[in-house]
């Protein structure tokens, strides 16, 4: 059975590219432009979450780092690898503070994306 990856990215071009690349690698991909989909994790049961750190939907101080920390701190979701995606230079530190399992710096290469996903879905 194909591993299921949830992609949360507000940039349609980047989201579509990630979905295309991962589907070509035979992953089942669910994508969303905002974090509201996290409310239905029970339904989707992803094996991994790729999460943009700065989603434009947020009107508050919430960000991917905080969402990641919440997911990793909850016993029901702590087992799901979370990868933060961002163009900021300090994404490594942001990912660590958010308890994320890894990070992907934009712009990224296809091989970099595929290798990171494979590494965390062993």
pLDDT of 99-121, one tens digit each?
999 999 999 999 999 999 999 99
The predicted model gives 5-22 an average pLDDT of 96
pLDDT of 62-94, one tens digit each?
689 999 999 999 999 999 999 999 999 999 999
pLDDT at 61: 53
Dihedral class, residue 99 (left if φ above 0, else alpha if ψ from -120 to 50, else beta): left
Q: What radius of gyration, in Å, describes the C-alpha atoms of the chain?
A: 13
CA dist 33 and 25 (Å) reads 22
Q: If you average pLDDT over every residue of the chain, what do you get? A: 93
**In which band, very low, low, confident or very high, does the pLDDT at 122 lie, cut at 50, 70 and 90?**
confident
């Amino acid at each position: 059975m194909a591993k299921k990856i949830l992609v949360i990215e507000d940039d349609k071009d980047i989201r579509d590219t990630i979905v295309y690349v991962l589907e070509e690698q035979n992953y089942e991909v669910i994508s969303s432009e905002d974090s509201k989909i996290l409310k239905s994790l029970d339904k989707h049961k992803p094996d991994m979450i790729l999460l943009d750190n700065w989603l434009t939907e947020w009107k508050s101080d919430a960000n991917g780092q905080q969402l990641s920390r919440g997911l990793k701190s909850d016993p029901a979701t702590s087992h799901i690898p979370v990868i933060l995606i961002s163009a900021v230079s300090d994404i490594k530190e942001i990912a660590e503070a958010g308890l994320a399992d890894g990070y992907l710096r934009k712009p990224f290469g296809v091989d970099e994306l595929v290798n990171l996903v494979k590494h965390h879905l062993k």
